[in-house]
């Protein structure tokens, strides 16, 4: 029976070399896939599990109070006192009584309670809960050497887990909706009749500018309004002459007023 020598782990953190043969959403499924390869006598020393998109998850387990802190400190101190008491009773000789164990438990519980309460009081209530931290990956890929990648992929196709679960259709549709739309092709430009002939050949002798601007279609001129007719000059109004009655002297006729004379001072 031959044993293969495991590959040495590199001292500096480096990414594995090879091809990705499968990807799973959980570590348990990736572990089952590697276990299946091992059961099929595949050289699993060429396989690496790589977690991508790492996330730090802190799970809150409960609320802290002085009572819980005191009980936890007393319990841990009692276990340490029991250990010390057993060591003293076993290796202390004949002069050491069995009551040392109980004394060690009592002293350990007291010191543990005191230290835990003091450390909790120093936090001043900034962290009144207990938690556990874990590093969880979004996806776990199975990376294999290029020489054995095809064989590993064919074996995993027959495994219960397969090559991993495909992305959901909703996620694929959402990714397609958020992707930027492709730019529509630009419409072909119409050749300028000033520089080209109707057949598309250039007109010789015409100076073509370096930056060709699009030719704007001629727009019909807006009708201009007709000029207003000049106002007719007003004729001066003459005073009406009343004929005198019979036997009455005719008053002298005042000279007609000049409409263009300047105004007088007494007016």
Q: Give the CATH number of domain 19-61+136-166.
A: 3.30.70
Q: Report the predicted TM-score, pTM, of the whole model to 2 decimal places.
A: 0.45
- 158-172 pLDDT, tens digit each: 888 787 764 444 344
How many CA atoms are closer than 13 Å to the CA of 222, on its beta-carbon side?
A: 2
Which string of DSSP letters, residue by residue, matches 46-66? GEEEEEEEEEEEEEEEEE--H
Q: Count of H helices and E strands in the chain?
A: 5, 3
pLDDT(175) > 90: no
Report the distance separating Cα 181 and Cα 242, nearest Å: 97
In whole numbers, what is the pLDDT of the chain averaged over residues?
A: 75
C-alpha separations of 207 from 47, 196, 203, 215 in Å: 70, 11, 9, 16
Every domain of the chain and the residues it spans:
19-61+136-166, 65-127
Q: Of 96-100, 116-120, 195-199, which one has max mean pLDDT?
A: 116-120
In this prediction, residue 207 carries a pLDDT of 60
Q: Are 121 and 1 in contact (CB under 8 A)?
A: no
Gap between the Cα atoms of 202 and 213, Å rounded: 17
């Amino acid at each position: 029976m031959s044993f293969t020598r495991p590959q040495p782990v590199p001292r500096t953190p480096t990414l594995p070399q090879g091809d990705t043969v499968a990807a799973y959403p959980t570590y348990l499924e990736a572990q089952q896939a590697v276990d299946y390869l091992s059961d099929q006598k595949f050289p699993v020393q060429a396989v690496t599990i790589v977690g991508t998109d790492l996330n730090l998850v802190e799970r809150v387990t409960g609320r802290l109070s002085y009572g819980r802190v005191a009980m936890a400190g007393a319990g841990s101190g009692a276990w340490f006192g029991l250990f010390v008491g057993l060591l003293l009773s076993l290796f202390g000789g004949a002069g050491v009584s069995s009551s040392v164990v109980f004394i060690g438990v009592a002293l350990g519980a007291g010191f543990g309670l005191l230290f835990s309460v003091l450390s909790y009081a120093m936090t001043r209530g900034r962290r009144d809960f207990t938690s556990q931290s874990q590093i969880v990956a979004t996806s776990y890929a199975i990376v294999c050497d290029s020489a054995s990648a095809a064989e590993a992929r064919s074996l995993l196709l027959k495994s219960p887990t397969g090559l991993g679960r495909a992305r959901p259709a909703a996620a694929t549709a959402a990714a397609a909706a958020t992707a930027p739309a492709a730019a529509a092709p630009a419409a072909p430009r119409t050749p300028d009749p000033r520089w080209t002939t109707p057949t598309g050949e250039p007109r010789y002798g015409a100076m073509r500018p370096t930056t060709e601007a699009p030719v704007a279609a001629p727009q019909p001129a807006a009708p201009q309004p007709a000029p207003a007719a000049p106002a007719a000059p007003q004729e001066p109004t003459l005073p009406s002459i009343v004929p005198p009655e019979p036997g009455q002297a005719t008053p002298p006729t005042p000279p007609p007023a000049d409409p263009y004379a300047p105004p007088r001072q007494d007016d």
